[in-house]
Structure 1
Amino acid sequence: MSSSFDKFQKRRLISSYFSVVLSVFLVLFLLGILGLFIINSQKLANDFKEKIAMTVFFKNEANDSILKTFGKQLKVAKYAKSNVFVSKEAAAKQHTDIIGEDFMTFLGENPLQNSYDIHLKAEYVEKDSIAKIEKQLRANPMISDIVYDKQLVNMVNDNIKKVSMWILIISGFLTFIAVLLINSSLRLSIHSNRFIIKTMQMVGATKAFIRKPFVMRSIKLGMLGAVLAILALLGVLAYVETSFPDLGILNDKFLIAVVLLAVLGFGILITWLSTYFATQRFLNLRTDDLY
């Protein structure tokens, strides 16, 4: 009879441990996915910003020396990520390929101008920053015009701000749910040992002495759940990198490492705090309230 009861207790204990590890794993996995999405969404947003080109057109009087000097200035300019020189001849060929006929045959001359397509760094693709850069470039007397899609710049920045706000709200909501789920699982685990806690207290054990083994056990379970979540996240990263190599999801290894370490740290912290307060609750209860 005693053996059957011991087996039942052992199965119940294993089931309790399993539920804690599973809760920690699922919650931390979801939070880790959200963290990876956040760091890569910023990268994708920056890549999109840097694809918006600012085209600088030069007057016909601008000779090769002036054009080359301007190109050298762009290479050292802090706002320029990359630049491409488009000669008037190359521009004419592009137009011919697009419209399907040589427009110069009936115009008699090439009306296009030499130009530079400048791709700005993401932090400079802002309304005020671009306006300053445009003003600075227009001070060059050889520049005839500067063209870029102002509406697209404003729309991109507005949408990025909206998306960032919603990501922040969702992150806070998921974190709150994560804390509740892990806390509930650990409280149920501690609840099954409430009589052991009270018995140890009645024979003179201090609160710190009673609390220590429960806290240490929960931290180990939290670490196990966090490690499983990290392994699952690495699997997701490997799958995405293999299936969509153009995304370059593994390029920023430092931020990925930060997210994975945050998952581990959060798993340890939340299990420690939840167990601490759960055991404290039962330690402060009267014996009659345990039933």
Structure 2
Amino acid sequence: MTNSFDSFQKRRLRSSYASVIISIAIVLFMIGILGLILLKSTKVANHFKQEVVMSLFFKDDVTKEQIESFRESLTTKPYTRELYYISKEEAAKTYSKDLGEDFLDFLGTNPLKNGVDLYLKADFVTPEKMEELRKEFEKNTFIIDISYDKPLVEQLTKNIKKISFWLLVLSGFFAVVSVILINSSIRLSIYAKRFNIKTMQMVGATKRFIRKPFIWQSIRLGFIGALLALIALSVMIYYIDKNIPALELVKDYISLIYLAVGILASAFIISWISTYFATQRFLNLQTNDLYY
């Protein structure tokens, strides 16, 4: 009879552990997906920002040596990602190709200017910073005109802020849900041992001594759940990368390392906190209250 009861208790304990691991794995998998979206959304936003071009046009009397000197000075600026010099002849060819006819035959002269297409780093592509740069370039005696798509920059900045806000709200919601779900699973596993906790307490064991094995057990279960979540995420990332290679998920090692560390850290922190408060609750209960 005793062996049968012990066997039942062990099966019940294993089932409780499996429930905790699966709950943690599912929650961390969802957190991992959200984290991946957050990491890639920043890269995607930066990609679009860095495609915005600011065109600087030079006066006709500016020499090639002066233009080259100006270009070299631009390459040392903190806002410069890359720049391309476009001569008035190259601009005329491109314009004629877009029109489908040579407009120089009609005008007789080339009205276009020599210029530089300046691509900025993502941090500088905001309405305020680009306006500051425009004012700075206007003071240069070489430059006759400055052009960039101001409405596009404003709309891009506005949309990125809006998307970032809702992603943060969603992240907060998932964080709360994850803590609640994992906490509930761990509390259920500890509930099955509530009589053991009270027995240890009655024979003189300190709260810290009683709590310690429960915390380490939950952390181990948390790490197992985290490893399962990482395996599932790896399969999903491989599948997405195979079907949408433009995202370059597999090649983005830094983001993947951050994601893995974040999931493991979440498993440790949530498991530790949940177990601490769950054991504390049963440690503070009276013996009669253990039956309810």
Bucket of the pairwise TM-score, normalised by the shorter protein = over 0.9
The CA distance in 1 between the partners of 2:283 and 2:78, in whole Å, is 62
Q: Which amino acid aligns with 1:96?
A: S
The alpha carbon displacement at 1:252 in A equals 4.9
The CA distance in 1 between the partners of 2:37 and 2:70, in whole Å, is 39
Equivalent position of 1:114 in the other structure: 114
The alpha carbon displacement at 1:28 in A equals 1.3
The CA distance in 1 between the partners of 2:18 and 2:146, in whole Å, is 64
User: Structure 2: which 5+ runs fail to align?
Assistant: none
Q: Could you report, residue by residue, the CA deviation over 1:210-264 in whole angstroms, capped at 9, with x for unpaired residues? A: 2222222111101111122223333333333343333233555334323321211
Gap change, CA 1:250 and 1:73, over 3 Å in 2: farther
Equivalent position of 1:98 in the other structure: 98
Equivalent position of 1:173 in the other structure: 173
Alignment of 1:94-243 (within 5 A): 94-243=94-243
Relative to the length of structure 2, the TM-score reads 0.93
Equivalent position of 2:284 in the other structure: 284
Equivalent position of 1:266 in the other structure: 266
Equivalent position of 2:88 in the other structure: 88
User: Structure 1: which 5+ runs fail to align?
Assistant: none
The CA distance in 2 between the partners of 1:138 and 1:281, in whole Å, is 68
The alpha carbon displacement at 1:60 in A equals 2.1
Q: Which amino acid aligns with 1:161?
A: K
The CA distance in 2 between the partners of 1:80 and 1:209, in whole Å, is 59
Q: Which amino acid aligns with 2:71?
A: G
The CA distance in 2 between the partners of 1:199 and 1:210, in whole Å, is 10
Relative to the length of structure 1, the TM-score reads 0.93
Which of structure 1's runs of 4+ aligned residues deviate more than 4 A? none
Higher mean displacement: 228-237 or 100-109: 228-237
Calculate the aligned-residue CA RMSD, in Å: 1.8
Q: Could you report, residue by residue, the CA deviation over 1:195-221 in whole angstroms, capped at 9, with x for unpaired residues? A: 222222223333222222222211110
Equivalent position of 2:57 in the other structure: 57
The CA distance in 2 between the partners of 1:65 and 1:205, in whole Å, is 84
The CA distance in 2 between the partners of 1:203 and 1:130, in whole Å, is 72
Q: Which amino acid aligns with 1:87?
A: S
SS at match of 1:112: coil
1:77 aligns with 2:67: no
The CA distance in 1 between the partners of 2:149 and 2:186, in whole Å, is 55
The alpha carbon displacement at 1:36 in A equals 2.2
The alpha carbon displacement at 1:70 in A equals 2.0
Q: Which amino acid aligns with 1:110?
A: N
Q: Which amino acid aligns with 1:91?
A: A
Q: Could you report, residue by residue, the CA deviation over 1:159-188 in whole angstroms, capped at 9, with x for unpaired residues? A: 111111111111111101110000000111
**Alignment length (residue pairs):** 291
The CA distance in 1 between the partners of 2:143 and 2:199, in whole Å, is 87
Percent identity between matched residues is 48
Q: Which amino acid aligns with 1:138?
A: E
Q: Which amino acid aligns with 1:108?
A: G
Equivalent position of 2:67 in the other structure: 67
